Chain A
Amino acid sequence: EAQVTQNPRYLITVTGKKLTVTCSQNMNHEYMSWYRQDPGLGLRQIYYSMNVEVTDKGDVPEGYKVSRKEKRNFPLILESPSPNQTSLYFCASSPPNQPQHFGDGTRLSIL
């Protein structure tokens, strides 16, 4: 089954404790992206990647890092999480200039 898999689905953690949200896709898509979704603000793009070893900042990259060492994986790293990064996060993938397939989301709470 074609899918984008995010882990964990839920996480409660504390300020300053590094965390990684993994994202994996099995569709051989070149393009991958991370979004955060907040009430009243819709989805905002954090980082995206056109292919392996190519990453670019989206609209709200501050406080986040990504890497794209393999085509299928695109982890989102929060080196020092803060409460304003409490949000619902989505990973997505697609061929270039095509509709994105989204994962089911990761709900992060940072206390």
Chain B
Amino acid sequence: GESVGLHLPTLSVQEGDNSIINCAYSNSASDYFIWYKQESGKGPQFIIDIRSNMDKRQGQRVTVLLNKTVKHLSLQIAATQPGDSAVYFCAENIPGNQFYFGTGTSLTVIP
């Protein structure tokens, strides 16, 4: 099966600092990547996505970077807030619409 891994299972940051969550993927045919946020007791919620023809995409306080050479994806959260505390997943889409998710990184924001 596919391997979508995260470098760190947990991450703690001070409120107001920037957070960086990393993800490695293994299939060079993957052409679409998505970051999700999951709060306790809820389903994953879409944050930002990026297609393989791009290397950077920005949203509100979030930026996704894609490095296809090393098959690496990162999520940057600017000015992290307590409400950002959650588990973050990356997902890769292989053409044909099969999705593979990483195991998740738990982000804790320290007030």
> Which residues of A are interface residues toward B (Cβ below 8 A)?
4, 31, 33, 35, 40-45, 48, 50, 56, 58-59, 90, 92, 96-97, 99-105
Closest to B87 in A: A42
Q: How far is A41 from B89 in the complex, measured between Cα atoms in Å?
A: 11
Which residues does chain B contribute within 8 Å of A45, judged by CB atoms? 98-101
A42/B104 contact (C-beta < 8 A), A33-B99, A50-B97, A97-B93 known = yes
Indicate if B16 sits at the interface (CB-CB under 8 A): no
B83 interface residue (CB < 8 Å to A): no
Further 17 A-B residue pairs, CB within 8 A, beyond A44-B101, A59-B98, A100-B99: A33-B99, A40-B103, A43-B44, A43-B89, A43-B91, A45-B98, A45-B100, A48-B97, A48-B99, A50-B97, A56-B96, A56-B97, A90-B44, A99-B34, A99-B46, A102-B43, A103-B43
Tell me whether chain B's interface is mostly helix, strand or loop, or mixed.
strand
Q: Are B43's CB and A105's CB within 8 A? A: yes
Nearest opposing residue in chain A for B4, CB measure: A42
CB A46 to nearest CB in B, in angstroms, measures 11
| Contact indicator A102/B44 (Cβ below 8 Å) | yes
Number of B residues with CB within 8 Å of any CB on chain A: 25
Interface check B111, CB cutoff 8 A: no
Chain A residues within an 8 Å CB radius of B89: 42-43
Q: Produce 1/0 per residue, B24-47, CB < 8 A to A.
A: 000000001010100001111110
Residue in B4, B42, B102, B103 whose CB lies within 8 Å of A104: B42
Q: Which residues of B (73-107) have their CB < 8 Å from a CB of A? A: 89, 91, 93, 96-104
Q: With contacts A90-B44, A99-B34, A99-B49 known, is A42 near B93, CB below 8 A?
A: no
Q: Closest CB of chain B to A72's CB: distance in Å? A: 18
Chain A residue nearest to B102 in the complex (CB): A42
**Chain A residues in 8 Å Cβ range of B49:** 99
By beta carbon, the residue of chain A nearest B45 is: A102
CB pair A31 B97 closer than 8 Å: yes
B68 to chain A, nearest CB (A): 18
Tell me whether B100 and A59 are in contact (CB under 8 A): yes
